[in-house]
Amino acid sequence: MSWLLSFNPWVVLVVAGLFEVMWASGVKYVGVQRPLISLGVALALAASMVGLWAATQKLPVGTAYAVWTGIGAVGAAVVGIVVYGEPATAVRAVCILLIVAGIVGLKLFSGAH
């Protein structure tokens, strides 16, 4: 997996965050009766972890972890609203925007590439 280290660590981190959204959004459907969904969730989880590992080889671990979990949290919240019909309140939207602001701030002020 050393080939992964040749990519821009921020790109790798964003892709890992998208895999984080995939497994977090699908985990509610995991079970013996749904083996393909369970396999997909497991593969997305593994891809997410590998991407986080690769990103932390070049970025500060605290920054990478915060951005990774932030992408996962925002993405899962948006999937919950759009796909699963979860509440889309103004307060929830503001909280999601605050997480996005934190992710952008970490990118801009982390001192890494």
CA angle 37, 39, 16 (to 5 degrees): 100
Q: In this predicted model, what pLDDT tens digit does every residue of 16-25 receive, in sequence order?
A: 999 999 999 9
Confidence band for 110, pLDDT divided at 50, 70 and 90: confident
Domain span holding position 33? 2-109
Q: What is the pLDDT of residue 60?
A: 93
pLDDT band at 112 (very low <50, low <70, confident <90, very high): low
Q: Are the beta carbons of 55 and 9 closer than 8 angstroms?
A: yes
Q: pTM (2 decimals)? A: 0.88
For the chain, what is the domain count?
A: 1
Q: What is the mean pLDDT of residues 66-85?
A: 95
Distances in Å between the alpha carbon of 50 and those of 25, 26, 34, 58? 18, 19, 24, 14
- pLDDT at position 3 is 87
